[in-house]
Amino acid sequence: MAATSTSLASQLYIGLRRPCLKLDSFNSQSFSVFDPNLRLSLSPPRPSRAIVAMAGTGKFFVGGNWKCNGTKDSISKLVADLNSAKLEPDVDVVVAPPFLYIDQVKNSLTERIEISAQNSWVGKGGAFTGEISAEQLKDLGCKWVVLGHSERRHIIGENDEFIGKKAAYALSQGLGVIACIGELLEEREAGKTFDVCFQQLKAYADAVPSWDNIVIAYEPVWAIGTGKVATPQQAQEVHVAVRDWLKKNVPDEVASKTRIIYGGSVNGGNSAELAKQEDIDGFLVGGASLKGPEFATIVNSVTSKKVAA
C-alpha cells in the first residue's frame, strides 16, 4: 500500500522538479525590452472580419487577480468600493483574493461578484504542506480557480502537464478554471508565440474531460506587471489563433462557447479599445483590480464592445 501511495505521489509531483528562475531575476526589468512595432504575422494573411459583439457566445468575463496583495483593512476598503460600484449587468465578474482573505471577502462582497482562488492542488488534499485543495476552496464558497498563471509557471516551476492535471482535478470538484496561457518576450521575438500557446492549450486539452467551465486567459508574459500592453491588434491576432486551434483540436462547438480573455497590464485607460476586438471576450486584470473604481471601469468596458457591434 505504501509503495502504491508513493507511486501516486510521484505522478502528482511531475512538473515541480525542473529548475526555475531565481526570484530576484524575475522582475519587471526582465521584460523591459519592447518593440512597439513588433507584430505577429499570419501566413497567408487573414482577411479582416467585421467587428461583432463577441466571437464567442458566452457573456463578457472580467476577473481580478489580487495576487499576493492586501491586508484585512485594505481588502475591506476594496470590497466596500466594489460593493458601491455600478457594474454593467451582462458581465460575469470574478475576483481572486489571497487564500487567507477568501472567507473575509466571501462574507462581505456583493453576490454580484463571484470568488476565485489563485491556485489549487493537483489532487485530493492530504500531507501536502502549504497546498490548498479544490475541496477546501469549494467549502469556502469559491466558484473559480486561476491555473497556469505565468508566475506559477516561471517562478514556481509548474510545467504544462502538471497544470493540465490541476485543471482536470479542479473541474472534477466543480470549480470553474481560468486557464492561463502566454509567451515570454524572447519567445515572441523568436516568432514562437503560437507554438507556445498551442502547446499550453494541448496540455489542458489532453487532461480535461470538458471545456464547459473553462475560460482561457491569454497573458503575454512580457506584458504582465510591466506597464507594457499588447496592442489591440496583437491581442486579437493571438485570440483568433487560439479560437482556430480550438476549432481544429477539440469539439467544434468549444471554439464558439469558450471565452478567451486578455490579461497583461489591462487598466481603465486601455480596456475600452481592447474590448472592441471581436475575439477578446473579457479580461484578467492584475494591479488595476486592486482599485475598485478602476476595476469597475474595466468591467463596464463591455459597453465599448456593444458600440463596436
pLDDT band at 302 (very low <50, low <70, confident <90, very high): very high
pLDDT at position 57, please? 66
* Res. 23: pLDDT tops 90: no
Q: Which residues contact 96 (CB under 8 A, 6 or more apart)?
A: 63, 64, 65, 66, 115, 116, 117, 118, 144, 146
Q: How many CB atoms lie within 10 A of CB 141?
A: 13
Residue extents of the structural domains in the chain: 61-308
The catalytic residue among 114, 187, 219, 278 is 219
Instruction: Give, in order, the Cα–Cα distances in Å from 120 to each of 51, 140, 222, 232, 234.
Output: 37, 13, 25, 31, 31
* Res. 31: pLDDT tops 60: no
* Res. 293: pLDDT tops 80: yes
The catalytic residue among 149, 158, 183, 237 is 149
Instruction: Give, in order, the Cα–Cα distances in Å from 88 to each of 59, 186, 302.
Output: 11, 38, 8
pLDDT at position 9, please? 45
Query: What is the model's pTM?
Result: 0.85
pLDDT at position 54, please? 63
Which CATH number, 3.40.190.10, 3.40.50.150, 2.60.120.620, 3.20.20.70, labels domain 61-308?
A: 3.20.20.70
**Three-state secondary structure call for residue 144:** strand
Q: What is the pLDDT of residues 178-199, one digit of tens each?
A: 999 999 999 999 999 999 999 9
Q: What is the mean pLDDT of residues 42-70?
A: 68
**Active-site residue 149, yes or no?**
yes
Q: How many CB atoms lie within 10 A of CB 4?
A: 8
pLDDT at position 11, please? 53
Mean model confidence pLDDT for the chain: 86
Written as nine digits, the cell of 131 is 497546498
